[in-house]
Amino acid sequence: MDADIIVIGAGLAGLQCARRAERHGHSVIVLEAGDAVGGRVQTDRIDGFLCDKGFQLLNPAYPSVRKWIDTSSLELQKFGFGVVVRDGEATSTLAHPVLHPAYALETLRSKQTQPRDLLAMARWLGPSLLRPSRVYGSARDTTLSTSFDAAGLAGRLRSDVLDTFLAGVLADSSGEVSADYARLLMRFFVLSAPGLPRAGMQALPQQMADSLSAPVRFGVAGRDLQETSDGVRVTTDSGTLSASSVVVAVGSENVADLTPLTVPVTRGLTTWWFRAPELPRRGPFLMLDASRPGGGPAGPIWHTAVVSEAAPSYAPTGHHLIEATTLLDQPDGLATEGDIRRDLERLYSTSTKDWDVLAHHVVQHALPLQPPPLRDRHPLWTGPRVLVTGDHRGTGSIDGALLAGDRAGEAVSERLAS
Ligand SMILES: Cc1cc2nc3c(=O)[nH]c(=O)nc-3n(C[C@H](O)[C@H](O)[C@H](O)COP(=O)(O)OP(=O)(O)OC[C@H]3O[C@@H](n4cnc5c(N)ncnc54)[C@H](O)[C@@H]3O)c2cc1C
């Protein structure tokens, strides 16, 4: 045997699984088809800018992050506690009045913070703030839209802010996702503003990989698994490896390559990264577009931000980094650069003539679809010695992937000990 356990895939789930199994005293080999750790959490360094491969944020309030990640060494640069809403020609900043007192009056006077809407929001979110554990497995889970209707959330807070913000977070604009899942995610945004590590999002998986006893083996794709009487043989392009157990942590789109499972339904996102010589807008906030009659974005961009305003390390001094996110469940999800520039010019009321595209990341399988009822899915044994994990076996988030990986590490260690 080459090791007690072979973990296939060095995304967050695979890395956390390997860390947990090592802590139980097992020898672990991690195989990664790509040339870096992190899977969907990676960072391109382009001309001194940090462009994550799909804009995303790390929330330090995630329970798994609090337990297993050294966030202080990541030096998180936090986004503001609020959002900017673009409504036609008008732009308003809605922000936590105590944390951002400069915006308190604007926030309280805005069309999106009518007392009726705020009360409905409290009805919608309150239970998950007070008793989050009761949310999982609740028989009452419905779609997001139905839950908003039930809470009486019908005003502009919903149409201009929540629908658009959550569509961007969940990569789904249908309103058909699990309301309980949306509540759990919103709870984390209430508990803490999310941020970006000084060295880019990839610093998160890198920290995890650095704590393993053996280095991850890059450029080694698992091609086939064969269970034997005492273990599993993994065929790779460069030979065969064997272990007592194998954990498949390859992400939704590759799960069917190595197991009898079908590919889980997923949703996609794209991120455009631009550099600008002049600052188009001050402030560490995400901008949501509510310019379509009835709410929602009038163009392909669901949210945009001057990322370097929140995370100065993402751009060289004197330069500015802008992200713009589109949703692949929309017909204009793959809009052209010209369409994106026109939309950015409308949103920031400025020309983008001097802006350069640094990268355009298209992530077809960004997140597993999370329909109601929310199920806290567990790692799945597809054979006596083969276990499947990843965010599609938990919830579609950094927290979901870490939790799923940790459970897999526990489960595989327990079986080896029995
Ligand atoms: C654009 C985008 C935005 C997001 N925004 C957020 C956010 O703001 N907050 C949040 O909490 N979450 C966010 N997420 C979700 C989060 O990043 C994922 O849920 C999480 O990273 C999934 O980790 P994973 O380990 O399950 O899978 P993956 O990261 O997909 O890892 C799978 C790994 O397996 C490797 N692999 C595949 N096949 C093989 C093979 N045959 N052999 C060897 N290796 C193989 C892959 O190369 C990859 O490295 C976002 C995701 C994307 C893409």
DSSP secondary structure of 286-355 = EEEE--STTSS-SSS-SEEEEHHHH-GGGS-TT-EEEEEEEETTSTTTT--HHHHHHHHHHHHTS--TT-
pLDDT at 134: 67
What token pair was written down for 191?
Answer: 């508990």
pLDDT in tens, the chain (418 residues): 999 999 999 999 999 999 999 999 999 999 999 999 999 999 999 999 999 999 999 999 999 999 999 999 999 999 999 999 999 999 999 999 999 999 999 999 999 999 999 999 999 998 888 877 766 667 789 999 999 999 999 999 999 999 999 999 999 999 999 999 999 999 999 999 999 999 999 999 999 999 999 999 999 999 999 999 899 999 998 899 999 999 999 999 999 999 999 999 999 999 999 999 999 999 999 999 999 998 899 999 999 999 999 999 999 999 999 999 999 999 999 999 999 999 999 999 999 999 999 999 999 999 999 999 887 677 799 999 999 999 999 899 999 999 999 999 999 999 998 8
Prediction pTM value: 0.97
pLDDT at 360: 98
Which ligand 1 atom sits nearest the alpha carbon of residue 361?
Answer: 1
pLDDT at 129: 84
| CA angle in degrees (0–180, nearest 5) for 302-304-306 | 175
Alpha helix segments (H runs only) across 172-287: 179-191, 203-210, 255-258
Which ligand 1 atom sits nearest the alpha carbon of residue 9?
Answer: 34
Distance CA 312, CA 315 (A): 6
| CATH architecture label of 46-58+72-197+267-368 | Alpha-Beta Complex (3.90)
Distance CA 171, CA 322 (A): 19
Domain ranges of the chain: 3-42+202-264+372-417, 46-58+72-197+267-368
* Ligand 1 proximity of 34 Cβ (cutoff 6 Å): yes
User: From the CA of 28, how far away is ligand 1's center (Å)?
Assistant: 20
Atom 6 (ligand 1) nearest CA? 56
pLDDT at 132: 72
Q: How many CB atoms lie within 10 A of CB 330?
A: 14
User: From the CA of 362, how far away is ligand 1's center (Å)?
Assistant: 13
Distance CA 60, CA 68 (A): 11
User: From the CA of 27, how far away is ligand 1's center (Å)?
Assistant: 24
* Ligand 1 proximity of 39 Cβ (cutoff 6 Å): yes
Sequence-distant (≥ 6) Cβ neighbours of residue 126 within 8 angstroms: none
Q: Which fold has domain 3-42+202-264+372-417?
A: FAD/NAD(P)-binding domain (3.50.50)
pLDDT at 127: 83
Atom 13 (ligand 1) nearest CA? 397
Distances (CA, A) of 144 to 75, 147, 158: 34, 5, 11
Atom 8 (ligand 1) nearest CA? 56
What token pair was written down for 168?
Answer: 């961007």
pLDDT at 375: 77
Which ligand 1 atom sits nearest the alpha carbon of residue 57?
Answer: 8
Q: State which H helix or E strand residue 64 sits in.
A: helix 63-68
* Ligand 1 proximity of 327 Cβ (cutoff 6 Å): no
Q: Do 64 and 406 meet the contact criterion of CB atoms below 8 Å apart?
A: yes
Which ligand 1 atom sits nearest the alpha carbon of residue 62?
Answer: 11
Distance CA 151, CA 156 (A): 14
User: From the CA of 201, how far away is ligand 1's center (Å)?
Assistant: 12
Distance CA 150, CA 269 (A): 29
* Ligand 1 proximity of 51 Cβ (cutoff 6 Å): no
* Ligand 1 proximity of 394 Cβ (cutoff 6 Å): no
Q: Do 288 and 86 meet the contact criterion of CB atoms below 8 Å apart?
A: yes
Distances (CA, A) of 281 to 54, 107, 312: 21, 18, 14
Top mutation candidate among 40, 66, 254, 391 for ligand 1, by most atoms within 8 Å of CB: 40
Q: State which H helix or E strand residue 242 sits in.
A: strand 239-248
Distance CA 92, CA 281 (A): 12
pLDDT at 40: 98
